[in-house]
Amino acid sequence: MTSRALLFALVLAATPAAAHAAQPVPWTSAVLHQTNDWYAGAEARRIADSVLLHQSPEGGWPKNVSLATPPGPEAVDPGAMNTFDNNAVALPMAFLARVVQATGDDGYRAAFERGLDYTLAAQYPNGGWPQYFPLKGGYHDHITFNDDAMVRTLRMLRDVAAGKAPYAFVDQARRGRAAQAVTKGIDLILRTQVRQDGELTAWCAQYDAELKPAWARRFEPPSLSGSESVGIVGFLMSLDDPSPEVIAAIEGAVAWFRASAIRDARIETFTDAQGRQDRRLARVPGAGPIWARFYELGTNRPIFLGRDSVVRYDVAEIEHERRNGYSYYGTWPADLLAEDYSAWKAAHAPAS
């Protein structure tokens, strides 16, 4: 019996029969917001044992899987699904760190360290992270800001480097490597911010090896992102001692968010002539602001692509399935502009 199969059998044997029949604990960010006593208790250990079962030999985890439930015999080899997408690495690592902090368990600590080593090994020399590691080819190899994959990684590594709770148990060598990785990541962020007419604007969701804006899926073109750019700016604002370059990046992005806002408009849900639920952009005085997910490079016009990859300038012109199955509009920068930027500006205002 392999060590992986043995651990699986031990988890099942140690779990009461009633628990097998119970609804699995949801694997969400809620597992990061419990008491220290809970992390030291049986339920947290049960989940942590399951997280270990899902961890691949490389040290990563799959996405879109409840790690709180042990994988069944039909589970896909996790080594084929190592990804930073959809919080697949940052969430289990943050959870395991809390369990280690509460229990001091060497097994959980070793799993966390494997995840940290995996994360550090995945960073490109230019400072970015791919969506999948080991590399799979295609757009999965691109530097990925999409869905905050790289930002989540940098936030976790920054806290590791600082020895911030719950990462105080991490050894000094790994803390040093994490600090270097964060420095390289920040440099990559600054290098990839797009300039238009000499002005700093926003970021694209993914970049190729030459740091050029790149395609992801067929409906995700090289473009300025009204969504992912928010997470990047939020991370830059969280830095304790921002450099002049970081400050300029934040100011440029905030100016772009303001200039790119779509006012007097909102997204409405309605029933179309075929009786289907649909969505449309409605012009309503006083509504908004909202932002587009994709802005055309060079023109800064909102663009919309369906699965045919054809650029259109009206969301109503793409197919019903994509129009209703993807967020082409949103309010992503609203809180950042209304609250976060003012607080950051006050904290970093030049001394008089």
Residue 33 or residue 76, greater confidence: 33
pLDDT of 18 strictly over 50 = no
- Tell which of 192, 226, 250 closes a domain: 192
Amino acid at 155: R
Task: Please indicate, yes or no, whether residues 178 and 208 belong to a single structural domain of this protein.
Answer: no
Q: What is the mean pLDDT of residues 218-239?
A: 97
Q: What residues contact 303, with CB distance under 8 A and at least 6 apart?
A: 221, 223, 292, 294, 295, 296, 311, 312, 313
Per-residue pLDDT band for 284 (boundaries 50, 70, 90) equals very high
Q: What is the mean pLDDT of residues 328-335?
A: 97
pLDDT of 10 strictly over 70 = no
Per-residue pLDDT band for 73 (boundaries 50, 70, 90) equals confident
Which parts of 60-139 fold into alpha helices (H)? 90-103, 106-122
Check residue 7 and give its pLDDT.
Answer: 52
pLDDT of 220 strictly over 50 = yes
Task: Please indicate, yes or no, whether residues 209 and 315 belong to a single structural domain of this protein.
Answer: yes
Helix (H, G, I), strand (E, B) or coil at 270: strand
Task: Please indicate, yes or no, whether residues 172 and 225 belong to a single structural domain of this protein.
Answer: no
CA–CA separation, 56 and 79 (whole Å):
5
DSSP string, 49-71: HHHHHH--TTS---SSS-TTS--
- Tell which of 192, 220, 250 closes a domain: 192
- What sign results for the dihedral spanned by CA atoms 293, 296, 300, 301? negative
Check residue 217 and give its pLDDT.
Answer: 96
The closest of 325, 300, 327, 298 to 313, measured between CA atoms, is: 300
Per-residue pLDDT band for 1 (boundaries 50, 70, 90) equals very low
Task: Please indicate, yes or no, whether residues 148 and 35 belong to a single structural domain of this protein.
Answer: yes
Contact 85, 131 (CB under 8 A): yes
pTM over 0.85: yes
Check residue 79 and give its pLDDT.
Answer: 55
Task: Please indicate, yes or no, whether residues 32 and 56 belong to a single structural domain of this protein.
Answer: yes
Nearest-10 crossing angle of helices 42-54, 106-122: 40
Check residue 2 and give its pLDDT.
Answer: 46
CATH classification at residue 283 = 1.50.10.20
- Tell which of 161, 192, 223 closes a domain: 192
Helix (H) or strand (E) holding 3: helix 3-14
Alpha carbon 283 to its chain centroid, in Å, reads 32
Burial code (b: 16+ CB inside 10 Å, e: under 16) for 111-125 equals bbbbbbebbbebbbe
Per-residue pLDDT band for 161 (boundaries 50, 70, 90) equals very high
Number of structural domains (the chain) is: 2
Task: Please indicate, yes or no, whether residues 289 and 178 belong to a single structural domain of this protein.
Answer: no
Strand partners, 282: 266
Check residue 26 and give its pLDDT.
Answer: 80
Residues with catalytic function: 86, 217
Task: Please indicate, yes or no, whether residues 161 and 243 belong to a single structural domain of this protein.
Answer: no
CA–CA separation, 153 and 94 (whole Å):
11
Task: Please indicate, yes or no, whether residues 209 and 141 belong to a single structural domain of this protein.
Answer: no
Task: Please indicate, yes or no, whether residues 209 and 184 belong to a single structural domain of this protein.
Answer: no
Residue 115 or residue 19, greater confidence: 115
348 is in which domain, residue-wise? 197-352
- What sign results for the dihedral spanned by CA atoms 317, 318, 319, 323? negative
Q: What is the mean pLDDT of residues 225-252?
A: 97
Contact 224, 203 (CB under 8 A): yes
Task: Please indicate, yes or no, whether residues 229 and 325 belong to a single structural domain of this protein.
Answer: yes
Per-residue pLDDT band for 80 (boundaries 50, 70, 90) equals low
pLDDT of 17 strictly over 50 = no
